[in-house]
Chain A
Amino acid sequence: MAKVLVVTSGKGGVGKTTSTAALGAALAQEGQNVVVVDFDVGLRNLDLVLGAERRVVYDLINVVQGDAKLSQALIRDKRLENLSLLPASQTRDKDALTADGVSRIVTELREKFDWVICDSPAGIEKGATLAMRHADIAVIVTNPEVSSVRDSDRVIGLLDSKTERAEKGELVEKHLLITRYDTARARRGEMLKTEDVLEILSIPLLGIIPESQEVLRASNLGTPVTLSNPMSAPARAYIDAARRLRGESLVVSVPTDKRSFFGSLFARRVA
Chain B
Amino acid sequence: MNLFSLFNRRSSAPVARERLQILLSHERAERGRPDLLVVLREEILAVVGRHIAVEQDKVRVKMTRDDDISTLEIDIEVPNAARARVLLHA
Residues of A within 8 A of B (CB): 145-146, 149-150, 153-154, 157, 186, 188-193, 196, 200
Contacts and interface: CB of A to CB of B under 8 A. Distances in A.
Contacts of A154: 27
B52 to A, nearest CB: 32
Nearest to A146: B16
B77 to A, nearest CB: 30
A189 B19 contact: no
Given A150-B24, A189-B12, A189-B13, 5 more contacts: A153-B27, A153-B28, A192-B17, A193-B13, A196-B16
Contacts of A189: 11-14
B27 A146 contact: no
Contacts, number: 36
A203 to B, nearest CB: 13
Interface of B: 11-14, 16-17, 19-21, 23-24, 27-28, 31
A153 B19 CA distance: 14
B13 A153 contact: no
A150 B17 CA distance: 11
B24 A191 contact: no
Contacts of B12: 189-190
A27 to B, nearest CB: 32
B24 A192 contact: no
19 contacts: A145-B16, A146-B16, A149-B20, A150-B24, A150-B27, A153-B24, A153-B27, A157-B31, A186-B13, A189-B13, A190-B13, A191-B13, A192-B16, A193-B13, A196-B13, A196-B17, A200-B17, A200-B20, A200-B21
B13 A146 contact: no
Contact of A188 (B11, B19, B27): B11
Nearest to A153: B24
Contact of B19 (A146, A157, A186, A190): A146
Nearest to A157: B31
